[in-house]
Amino acid sequence: MIAVATLNSKIYSCLVGALKGRNVNFIFKSPYEAIPLSVRVVITTKDEAKHIKHHTILTCNEENIEKTVDEAVNIVKGLSGKIFDEVVVGIDPGKTIGFAVVGEGIVLEASTYTSFKEVFQALTRICQTLNPKKILVKVGLGGCFDENFKIWMEKIKEKLLKKFGVEVKILFVDEKNTTTVAKKRRIKRKEKDKVSAVEIALRK
């Protein structure tokens, strides 16, 4: 469990958004409250950290919210400091882009984004936090796929190789039936896109 312990409303709002985007359970506590034993890591600000008594405290500011949340999630999942030889990214193209990250069969993230820029930022964050040697990006070939997406992915591949030295392989896969589970469960649109992205990432 992750605890968000800050009275800074802007930081709190950003942290909540980042945690919800990763489907991570968390609780809110004031920096002056006792932290439950079930909490593995506390996220707060540098100024408020001195008021918190806990064995694992991460501090953040407006510039490193995403990175801090990734670190907290990795701690909770027992992946802190782990280096992956390869991670698989599943992408479900559409008005809302489903995005999922899988490492060694473990779903590390399931999110949705609304632009190519956000997806690139997410891929950049993966390179920074997981330090993979290779990234296999599986893109679903569904009704919302077009050639512009393919061209854009090739550009991203070149940028990641140049900036991080990460080998990126892009695989376009049939996303048929990836929405079946979501429909059966009557999952909302954004959640459906996440489920589809996970299915795409795990597809052989």
* 14 and 90 housed in the same domain: no
* Residue 128 pLDDT exceeds 90: no
* 95 and 193 housed in the same domain: yes
* 110 and 197 housed in the same domain: yes
For residue 38, tell me if it sits in a domain: yes
**pLDDT range class, residue 143, cuts 50, 70, 90:** low
Q: Do 2 and 35 form a contact (C-beta atoms < 8 A)?
A: no
- Count CA atoms within 13 Å of residue 192 on its CB side: 18
* 92 and 141 housed in the same domain: yes
**Cβ-Cβ contacts under 8 Å for 42 (sequence gap 6 or more):** 2, 3, 4, 5, 29, 35, 52, 54, 56, 57, 58
Domain end, chosen from 76, 103, 131, is at 76
CA dihedral 110, 115, 117, 118 (to 10 degrees): -30
**pLDDT range class, residue 186, cuts 50, 70, 90:** very low
Whole-number pLDDT of residue 106? 82
Q: What is the pLDDT of residues 44-93, one digit of tens each?
A: 999 999 999 999 999 999 989 988 998 898 888 877 667 788 999 999 98
Q: What is the CATH number of the domain that holds 57?
A: 3.40.50.2300
Please give the model's pTM, rounded to 2 decimal places.
0.69
* Average of per-residue pLDDT values in the chain: 87
**pLDDT range class, residue 9, cuts 50, 70, 90:** very high
For residues 20-33, give the mean pLDDT: 90
For residue 157, tell me if it sits in a domain: yes
* Residue 123 pLDDT exceeds 80: yes
- Determine the Cα–Cα distance for residues 142 and 111; give it in Å rounded to an integer: 18
For residue 109, tell me if it sits in a domain: yes
Whole-number pLDDT of residue 182? 45
Q: What is the pLDDT of residues 163-185, one digit of tens each?
A: 999 999 999 988 766 555 444 44
Percent of the chain with pLDDT over 70: 90
Q: What is the CATH number of the domain that holds 104?
A: 3.30.420.140
Query: What's the one-letter identity of residue 145?
Result: F
- Determine the Cα–Cα distance for residues 46 and 131; give it in Å rounded to an integer: 26
For residue 81, tell me if it sits in a domain: no
* 114 and 183 housed in the same domain: yes
The count of residues in the chain is: 204
Q: Which of 65-79, 125-139, 182-196 has the lowest mean pLDDT?
A: 182-196
Could you tell me how far CA 149 lies from the centroid of its own chain? 20
How many domains does the chain divide into? 2
- Helix (DSSP H) and strand (DSSP E) numbers for the chain: 6, 9
Backbone angles phi, psi at 179, to 5 degrees: -95, -5
Domain end, chosen from 32, 47, 76, is at 76
More confident call, 191 vs 183: 191
What is the largest distance, in Å, between two alpha-carbon atoms of the chain?
Answer: 54
Residue 173 structural domain: 86-202
* 97 and 189 housed in the same domain: yes
Whole-number pLDDT of residue 187? 43
Q: Do 123 and 160 form a contact (C-beta atoms < 8 A)?
A: yes
Whole-number pLDDT of residue 189? 56
For residue 72, tell me if it sits in a domain: yes
